[in-house]
């Protein structure tokens, strides 16, 4: 199987998981995977539930021209291209609209690191980006400078964007942000969340076991 075919097959598989985990409802959200200088991205208006391999089209990373497929790429394509252009280390971008993360972000709150999984998958606190028009250059200009420094961002009144060395890593980061948003809501219902301190975050970050877990995710498909 060539690399483009493999990337498309994986995009289909991850799309099904995104739908099953309720990270998106209907045709919203989008994913992409980089293969050399081409990024394969979900076509506009397609649902993750139904999208097949040909619904993920190839776009030249630098020119933005459609080079593989016939459908119109997602309107958030500039954001995807921008992420790859500032991060040589990533091969995937996953953008979803999960309800708890969306609610927390739309209340103007971010989610502080509260457990070792957070530190291992996300790193320091996820930045919260103010609402911008969810299309074209506006969203690219808002998100890309943060992606330069972070693996995941929260978008007020919109959702989550996360990047990864693999599609699975970018997907898990979206899933984890949603899970952390649920934990935050639970903590605030029964009391007040105690986030990890900077020292606790640094200590977890330095653990050999966390490095091992992170590397496993990198090597996974
Ligand atoms: Zn969106």
Q: What is the pLDDT of residues 13-57, one digit of tens each?
A: 999 999 999 999 988 999 999 999 999 999 999 999 999 999 999
Query: Is the pLDDT reported for residue 63 higher than 70?
Result: yes
How far away, in angstroms, is 212 Cα from ligand 1 center? 32
How far away, in angstroms, is 205 Cα from ligand 1 center? 31
What is d(CA 109, CA 92) in angstroms, rounded to the nearest whole number?
Answer: 26
How far away, in angstroms, is 203 Cα from ligand 1 center? 35
Residue among 89, 88, 2, 83 nearest 41 (CA): 83
The per-residue pLDDT for 216 is 67
Please report the beta strands in 52-174, taking only residues with DSSP state E, as ranges in sequence order: 56-60, 66-68, 92-96, 128-129, 152-155, 159-164
Task: Summarize the confidence of residues 203-210 as an average pLDDT.
Answer: 82
How far away, in angstroms, is 161 Cα from ligand 1 center? 9
How far away, in angstroms, is 95 Cα from ligand 1 center? 6
163 bridge partner residues: 93
Whether residue 53 contacts residue 33, with contact meaning beta carbons closer than 8 Å, is answered with: no
How far away, in angstroms, is 74 Cα from ligand 1 center? 10
pLDDT digits (tens, 9 = 90+) for 65-121: 999 999 999 999 999 999 999 999 999 999 999 999 999 999 999 999 999 999 999
Half-sphere exposure of residue 49: CA atoms within 13 angstroms, side-chain side: 11
Structure tokens at 150: 């972070």
Task: Summarize the confidence of residues 141-161 as an average pLDDT.
Answer: 97
How far away, in angstroms, is 28 Cα from ligand 1 center? 6
In order of start, what are the domains of the chain with their CATH numbers? 3-219 (3.40.225.10)
Query: Is the pLDDT reported for residue 6 higher than 60?
Result: yes
How far away, in angstroms, is 135 Cα from ligand 1 center? 8
The per-residue pLDDT for 219 is 59
The per-residue pLDDT for 211 is 72
Whether residue 44 contacts residue 21, with contact meaning beta carbons closer than 8 Å, is answered with: no
The per-residue pLDDT for 220 is 55
DSSP string, 138-170: HHHHHHHHHHTT-SEEEETTTEEEEEESSHHHH
Whether residue 170 contacts residue 94, with contact meaning beta carbons closer than 8 Å, is answered with: yes
DSSP string, 174-203: HHHHHHHHHHHHHHHHHS---PPPHHHHHH
pLDDT digits (tens, 9 = 90+) for 186-205: 999 999 999 999 999 999 98
How far away, in angstroms, is 43 Cα from ligand 1 center? 13
How far away, in angstroms, is 200 Cα from ligand 1 center? 33
How far away, in angstroms, is 44 Cα from ligand 1 center? 11
Query: Is the pLDDT reported for residue 174 higher than 70?
Result: yes
The per-residue pLDDT for 80 is 98
How far away, in angstroms, is 50 Cα from ligand 1 center? 18
Query: Is the pLDDT reported for residue 210 higher than 80?
Result: no
Task: Summarize the confidence of residues 174-192 as an average pLDDT.
Answer: 98
Residue among 132, 185, 138 nearest 158 (CA): 132
């Amino acid at each position: 199987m060539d690399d483009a075919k493999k990337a498309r097959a994986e995009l289909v598989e991850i799309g099904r998981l995104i739908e099953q985990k309720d990270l998106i409802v209907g045709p919203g959200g989008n994913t992409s995977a980089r293969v050399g200088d081409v990024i394969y991205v979900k076509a506009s208006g397609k649902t993750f539930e139904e999208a097949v391999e040909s619904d993920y089209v190839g776009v030249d990373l630098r020119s933005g021209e459609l080079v593989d497929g016939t459908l119109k790429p997602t309107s958030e394509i500039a954001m995807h291209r921008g992420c790859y252009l500032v991060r040589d280390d990533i091969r995937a971008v996953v953008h979803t609209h999960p309800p708890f993360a969306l609610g927390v972000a739309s209340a103007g709150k971010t989610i502080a690191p509260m457990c070792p999984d957070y530190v291992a998958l996300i790193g320091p606190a996820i930045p919260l980006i103010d609402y911008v028009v969810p299309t074209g250059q506006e969203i690219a200009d808002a998100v890309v400078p943060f992606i330069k420094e972070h693996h995941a961002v929260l978008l007020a009144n919109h959702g989550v964007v996360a990047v990864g060395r693999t599609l699975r890593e970018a997907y898990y980061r979206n899933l984890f942000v949603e899970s952390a948003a649920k934990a935050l809501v639970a903590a605030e219902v029964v009391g007040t969340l105690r986030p990890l301190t900077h020292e606790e975050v640094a200590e977890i970050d330095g653990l050999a076991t966390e490095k091992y877990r992170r590397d496993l995710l990198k090597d996974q498909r």
